[in-house]
Structure 1
Amino acid sequence: MNAAVENLRTQVRGRVLLPSDDGFAQARSPWNRAVEQPVAAVVEAADADDAAAVVRHARAAGLTVAAQPNGHGASGNTAGVVLLRTGALDGLAVDPAARTARAEAGVTWGRVQAEAGPHGLTGMAGSSPIVSVVGYTLGGGLSWFGRSHGWAADSVTAFEVVDAEGERGRVTAASDPDLFWALRGGGGDFALVTAVEFDLHPAPELYGGRMLFPGALAARAFDAFRAITEKAPDALSTWYTRLHPPGGDPLVAVDVAFLGGEAEAKELLRPLEAVGAAIADTRRPMSPAELGAITADPTDPGPGFSRARSLADLDGDAGAVLAEEDAAPLLMVQVRHLGGALARPSDSATGALAAPYLVYTLGLPLSADLAAGLRERCARLWESLGGRVGGRRPYSLLAPGESAADAFTPEAVARLREVKRARDPHGVFRANFPVLD
């Protein structure tokens, strides 16, 4: 064992786990259990000072640090690194009068929404309430409200960081424009973020939920989804999802989130009335604190295989491919409506994403054969969609084997690499998807 790794125990107050320790295998596991993380040690930081101590030790000893609150978005690119768990950094402050929030690195979106929702405010949360605010925002953050307000990174006003020398600081657009730009969607390659400050947005009314139909109505539901998205205002986000539950009958879901009232939402969603009899309809006025109920994402870790691609249009045979082709062995094929503010200029690393739609797939790689089948099925799906798919996809939806360059424009990649070389020349930090790879 490297003496520098063993000496971590003398540097911090939090727990340090080495490969020989009980509990190490569990501590190093990411959310996606299909991803291996062969790390040298796991440090559970007690607070931001502990995190800074780890970075200082790593800088002096020639070690590399990868920060993860709970391991969402892990790529497996962690061989030999010190895995820094920041889940204990759990401070949260919501200022309803100023419409702002400060969340430390271990805070989840569910907590933010629970605090902000009663004040008629919302953060830029996605579908899962258990994803950390900091990790999600460093990857850009694709929110239910992105069509109205852009990326979650666009709402950030300041970062509290530990730099590559182990020094704590606060980064804003005025104090350090290059680093501020890079941290807003460029990943965790440039500094260790211990807290983020961001604007909250008005949500005096919110209508959301899911309509679930038998799989036989998939084509009709797709036609309704297409009609809705052709005319949708920025306040409305809609997802179309084909579901293939193990051992069950195929299903199709249409999920919606609308920053407005029930009557207006029902008028905008009128095409869904022609689809046919729904198995379930959970759409209702809701609080931002209930946002996670729309899709009811899993709250326990497990193995997964996911891929995402931008989608240029739903014209021609797109409906036949997405709504009628057998998707097995994939559990889910989802089409998300993007556009709106997501396609408009952004002064963050994420930038504008012109594609109006996104295709996201998910499967269970329970064996090598199943994993191979999932890869092959995704490849066939992209081939069937032809020139409609490709281009950039959100950093937070990158999958193992993909590159940070898949998430940014060439100009943004070049600038991110310049920032990385300038701010972390010794490679103290390693993001899930490093910009220099």
Structure 2
Amino acid sequence: MDLREFLSGLRSAGMLRFVNDELDINYEIPYVITKFDKGPTLEFTNVRGFRDTHVVGNIVNTRNKVYRALGVKTDVEFYRRLLWAEEVAPSYRPGETNNVVYDPLPSVDLTKLPIPRYFELEPGPCLTSAVVVGMDTKENVLNASIHRLTPIGPDRFVIRLVPRHLYRIYMRNREIGKDTPISISWGLHPAILVAAASSPSFGTFELNMANALLNGSLKVKSLDNGVPAPAHAEVVMEGYISARETTKEGPCMDVLGTYDEVREQPVVRITRIYVRRDGPLIAQALVAGYSEHKLLMGIEKEAKIWQFVSNVVPEVKSVRLTDGGCGWLHAVVAIRKQSDGDPKNAIMAAFAAHPSLKYVVVVDDDINIDDPSEVEWAMATRFRADEDLVLIKYARGSTLDPVAIDPLQGITTKMGIDATRPISSDISRFRKGVIPASLDPDKLRIE
């Protein structure tokens, strides 16, 4: 299973459109992608300055496309499958193969790759959709994750390392004076991106998760530095995160749609580049702060929230990290409650499942959580601030939050809202009105 096969399926389903006008990889293609943010996948066939190259965007910019990539149809089916993949990952180690579809380039030159430039204040092009696999040189622990990579020379990136698993591997290698061997794979099946964007426990290899999601079909190739890379990527880079060299990174756009702060970050040295040999190269452009970024970053957190809330509430219908909350900071949880205390337990469980969350609304299962007006209607008709508001002060949140009390630690105040109807109340007072007619307005003759 590779990106090209997935795109072919989208094409057959009428979910992909071609853009044949000549456009620049810098600003122009990203701009068009944002104008179709929740629409079709776009494949740009005429990329200025890059022959035999197509650029694709909005690959998984809707929940429907994510579910299609994983072979599921409903929210709960997705939650169960992703959580199952995390659990069984150790048993789904991908098979190694020499039958790769990419060849090494004669020299290392990142300027030859169609890496887009997105936003005006960013220092240059930025690779936003590649999966980095890093290895702990002492214990051979592997981790796959998605990181921002900014070229700073023909064979150098600066990498944004959030203090999570790859950062932990980097620090462990650094303590013994070792560079961290890595592979960088670009142009992958969305199941691999979903797995790499997940946060299983340290030591669970995300490519094993991806193999489980792909029903055991993923194959990998070990590079010269000992790190695996998917055998059907569009571009694979081999290299090392320097234990000693750092430089300034940023300002770059983040998931909140604001510029992240400038930090001192590690430098990556690329030693070899492999490029797919058959047909035009397919480069994925992922625009930070838009739907594809939000879904990839947040959808696994929805599964974790569903799991945690399901432990304290008998039935959880669905979870959404909201669009207005940047797919990260705000959530809506729909439950079927059996006690008036269930929503507050659900609120606390949601915060435990996703520590970056700072605002959560719990609604009844008759509310469409994809409709912000319905959620607000539930708040207007079922919420009392003196009884149904939960405030948690000085809690750990997200370091991305620009109004955090302590931005370095992400210390903030969290709020939960119980917008469910009381069990003991007359349900007719809370029922939405329905007009009992089955006419099709589109068939009426209206002049």
TM-score by length of 1: 0.28
More helix by share: 1
**Larger CA Rg, structure 1 vs 2:** 2
More strand by share: 2
TM-score by length of 2: 0.27
